[in-house]
Amino acid sequence: MSHQRIIIDTDPGVDDAAAILLALASPELEVLGISVVGGNVPLEATVANACKIMALSNRADVPIYAGAPGPLIREQVYGKYAHIGAFSDQLVPATDIKPEAEHAVSFLIRTTRNAAEVGDPITICAIGPLTNIALALVQHPDVARGIKQIVSMGGAFTALGHRTPWAEFNIYADPHAAEIVYGSGVPLVIMPLDTTFQALLTRQHIEGIQAAAGAPGRALANLLLAFDRSDIGRFGRPGGPIHDATTIAWLLKPELFQGRKAAIGVQVTGRTAGYTYADYYGKTDRPPTSTIMHSVDEQGFIDLLFERLNVYSRSNDDLRALGG
């Protein structure tokens, strides 16, 4: 089986946890490392959460790297559940896994430059603020040659925002970084709120994950039940989105999604900082290097999530074998 080599850049996060577990349960993906950024919660907590997720998956072979603690320029903002911080031991079991000594930005630079040298660019799944990736691109622009594509959960075009009325959180948390990455020329696949709001997990789905996916399923269900994402007023039906997992799902089954090419940009200052815009008709001088997803097969996405998470009901030896 051919492998897609990926790095997951993340600020765990409940849906980040789902995305990481989905990736690690998928033999088509070779996860080279987890680069962590401050975002939903402070960096110390996002790193601790990443370590706990890795322990759940029984994949201590995948290294974790701590990166930027905050945005490039703007003042720090955190997610809705920042006051909770690191996942409690009651929700996700404690672990002695620790991050590597190397900084996440150094890891990104080293790995992508090596990928360029051997002619085998990698995919970055960006499911947090884009600070780490922007720093790598600014420090060493040749990094772009080693990136096949960036699959990013971020932005809101028709759905409007959720952290503010005009902005999705990952972009709002560091709009300057997003503008650098979006303008880098690297091919982008964007999963905005427009799409992620279409795939909702109900309580019945969560209970199914809890019953069928071993210890990771129980922990993920604990998180999903503790951090309620339902909003019938906005979504019009029960359930809540699991945003970041859509990036991994697209890598595994792109046929579940429909998208459209566009140039995109970000408002970086002022009251509407973090607002993302899409140019579908060539009205700006930016090249259309992005594919913005606008729809998802909800049932297909949920079926894929269940299929892969059920891998975690296997033995520890089977799980370790997923890493090759």
Annotated domain spans of the chain: 4-321
The per-residue pLDDT for 225 is 87
pLDDT, tens digit, 9 for 90 and up, residues 96-132: 999 999 999 999 999 999 999 999 999 999 999 999 9
User: Which residues have a Cβ under 8 Å from the Cβ of 264 and sit 6 or more positions away?
Assistant: 155, 182, 188, 190, 276, 277, 278, 279, 286, 290, 292
Question: pTM for the complete prediction?
Answer: 0.94
| Bridge partner list, 52 | none
The per-residue pLDDT for 84 is 64
The residue behind tokens 């995109």 is 264
Distance CA 6, CA 29 (A): 7
Q: Which residue has the higher pLDDT, 147 or 161?
A: 147
pLDDT, tens digit, 9 for 90 and up, residues 54-67: 999 999 899 999 99
What would the mean pLDDT of 77-85 be, rounded to a whole number? 71
| Catalytic residue flag (residue 243) | yes
Would strands 4-10 and 29-36 be described as parallel, antiparallel, or unpaired?
Answer: parallel
Measuring CA to CA, which residue among 245, 248, 202, 243 is closest to residue 225? 202
> Which one from 162, 176, 205, 243 is the annotated catalytic residue?
243
CATH of span 4-321 = 3.90.245.10
